[in-house]
Amino acid sequence: MHIENMSIRAHKIISLEYAQFPSFNCNCETDLLDFLMEGEYTHDGRNDDGSGMVEIAVERLQESIENSMLKLDKGTRDDIEADIVWAKQKGRDFITYDCF
């Protein structure tokens, strides 16, 4: 893929820090993942196998835990709530998840 009229530079990543445990399972919680991916400001960087990084707005995550149709289990709900608290403490509007 070649992008015309734009200078885009590739920067190496020196360090990524991961949470100890995943927040949710993309394969098991497909309704949640679909809901999150439908967000207006969601950036989906996953490949054809579903692996890769996604950026999800904290606001969309909040909407997911308030959506009773998603039927989230308590563990998933608690993990997403913890992610929201973490993001707000850091002053972030988005959370990046690496799906693998």
pLDDT single digits (tens) 5-64: 667 788 888 999 999 999 999 999 999 999 999 999 999 999 999 999 999 999 999 999
* Residue 82, domain member (yes or no): yes
* Residue 74, domain member (yes or no): yes
Whole-number pLDDT of residue 9: 82
In the chain, the number of structural domains is 1
Report whether 53 contacts 45 (CB < 8 A).
yes
* Residue 6, domain member (yes or no): no
Q: Sheet harboring 43-46: ordered strands across?
A: 43-46, 52-57, 94-99
* Residue 52, domain member (yes or no): yes
Whole-number pLDDT of residue 1: 54
Please give the residue range of the domain that contains residue 54. 33-99
* Residue 25, domain member (yes or no): no
pTM: 0.87
